């Protein structure tokens, strides 16, 4: 793992997310103390979320820290195999524009099915009823590729983190699936995070993606300031 992944933390949550405990200011201070060069402030959204302008304003109001670049993002799950993203349309339309977030972090919190998101429980039940592992991976990869193309400015959040929750692993992801994911990421300028919290993707996946030209970034997925920029698995 290239050591420079640990110079940035591209996935840090604040109190704008209902499961995080630190403010943007506290996260900024933690990033400074960790000696980071880049920090991406990110919070969870759904299509009904209304706080994004306030979140972006709070980040924009933070004091400048010499040597530290502050980026923004919103994290949203992929809803189905067509690549629909669970984020307000106006937020997606403003990505990369003045006053908008820099990127949308596409998350596999649930499996994007043909009829909407499937919880891990539903996926396990369908696997017991005969759904093959390869079909689960196919749904995930097809949906992720479609979402990358739809977003235009994305980052894959904790890719393949759902697989252990449904009794699978990255070994169930074929080279062909990885190559399709990589080709779409390169074509759309999508970055892929190496996530400390969920310990994914593993060496095989990230090495194949990197060989194809995908930009990898480090992330802790921190939900409290004490975890910002703290890497134990990434870089090991």
Distance CA 5, CA 219 (A): 8
Tens of pLDDT along 31-42? Answer: 999 999 999 999
CA distances from 193 to 12, 40, 196, 214 (A): 12, 11, 9, 10
Q: pLDDT of 96-120, one tens digit each? A: 999 999 999 999 999 999 999 999 9
69 pLDDT higher than 90 = yes
- Domain ranges within the chain, ordered by starting residue: 3-227
pLDDT at residue 234 in the model: 94
pLDDT of 1 above 70: no
Cα gap 8→115, rounded to integer Å = 37
Residue 210's contacts (CB-CB under 8 Å, 6 or more residues apart) are 216
Write the class of the CATH domain 3-227.
alpha beta
Phi/psi of residue 15, nearest 5 degrees: -70, -5
pLDDT score, position 158: 97
Tens of pLDDT along 161-192? 999 999 999 999 999 999 999 999 999 999 99
């Amino acid at each position: 793992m290239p050591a420079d992944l640990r110079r940035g933390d591209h996935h840090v949550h604040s109190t704008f997310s209902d499961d995080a405990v630190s403010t943007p200011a506290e996260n900024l201070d933690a990033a400074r103390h960790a000696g980071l060069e880049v920090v991406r402030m990110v919070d969870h959204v759904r299509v009904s979320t209304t706080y994004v302008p306030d979140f972006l304003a709070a980040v924009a109001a933070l004091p400048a820290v010499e040597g530290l670049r502050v980026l923004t993002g919103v994290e949203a799950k992929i809803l189905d195999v067509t690549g629909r993203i669970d984020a307000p349309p106006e937020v997606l339309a403003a990505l990369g524009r003045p006053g908008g977030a820099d990127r949308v972090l596409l998350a596999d919190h649930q499996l994007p099915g043909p009829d909407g998101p499937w919880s891990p429980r539903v996926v396990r039940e369908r696997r017991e009823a005969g759904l093959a592992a390869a079909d689960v991976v196919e749904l995930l990869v097809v949906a992720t590729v479609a979402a990358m193309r739809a977003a235009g400015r994305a980052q894959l959040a904790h890719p393949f983190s759902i697989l252990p929750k449904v009794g699978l692993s990255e070994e169930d992801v074929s080279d062909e699936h990885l190559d399709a994911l990589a080709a779409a990421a390169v074509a759309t300028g999508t970055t892929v995070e190496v996530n400390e919290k969920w310990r994914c993707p593993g060496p095989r996946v990230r090495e194949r993606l990197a060989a194809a030209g995908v930009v990898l970034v480090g992330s802790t997925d921190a939900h409290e300031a004490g975890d910002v920029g703290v890497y134990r698995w990434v870089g090991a």
